[in-house]
Amino acid sequence: MRSLGPRMEVAVAMTILGVGAAVVAAMHLTWPEPELPAMAYAVSNGEAGVADLQPFEINDISGAPVELTPGSEGSRRVRLSNPNSVDIVVLTLQAVPGQPLDAAHNRVVDCPSGVLTVVPMAQPVALPPAGSVEVEMVVQISPDVPPACKDSVFPLTYTGRAARG
């Protein structure tokens, strides 16, 4: 995977129909105003039977990182877009937190990524040809957060899977 840099204003990546790809956005576990924009990178794979379709897009449109405090919930707005001329159904969408980073973009070893969880999309979503749909992903932070996690940024890797509609 290749990092596109911390100054990227929009977290955008594509996912291949059927298998999925990744988009990374940032969740900010902090009390002061977040200063780091979302980060992004992408991975793509193909699957038999969908080679004639273009990949659907997963775009985190939440803007800046979301501030979270121990025991709280937050959300990320995600836009799913269909560049094809046929209906598709996004069957799954989930996000997995990565190793937290500090302000200098170094890994925070004493802060486990497991203090942050993202609830997967509950229902499949139909996407019309050349259309898009916005969904909300609920983010939860554990009430027991180690002090090392303060002011950390958690990269989120979004993955999704879709089929013809």
pLDDT tens sequence for the chain (165 residues): 444 443 333 222 223 333 333 344 444 443 333 333 333 323 234 444 556 788 889 988 987 777 778 999 988 999 999 999 999 999 999 999 999 998 898 999 999 999 999 999 999 999 999 999 999 999 999 999 999 998 888 888 888 888 888
Q: If you write DSSP's letter for every residue of 41-68 in order, what string do you get?
A: -------TT-TTSPPEEEEE-S-SPEEE
pLDDT value of position 54: 84
Domain of 115 in residue numbering reads as: 11-164
The total of structural domains in the chain comes to: 1
At 148 the three-state DSSP class reads helix
Task: Give the C-alpha separation, 112 to 58, whole Å.
Answer: 26
Residue 29 lies in a domain: yes
What residue type is assigned to position 8 of the chain?
Answer: M
What is the pTM (predicted TM-score) of this model? 0.69
Do the beta carbons of residue 47 and residue 145 sit within 8 Å?
Answer: no
pLDDT value of position 67: 79
- Neighbouring CB atoms inside 10 A of 72's CB total 14
Residue 97 lies in a domain: yes
Query: Among residues 152, 66, 80, which one has the least CA distance to residue 114?
Result: 152
pLDDT value of position 51: 62
pLDDT value of position 13: 29
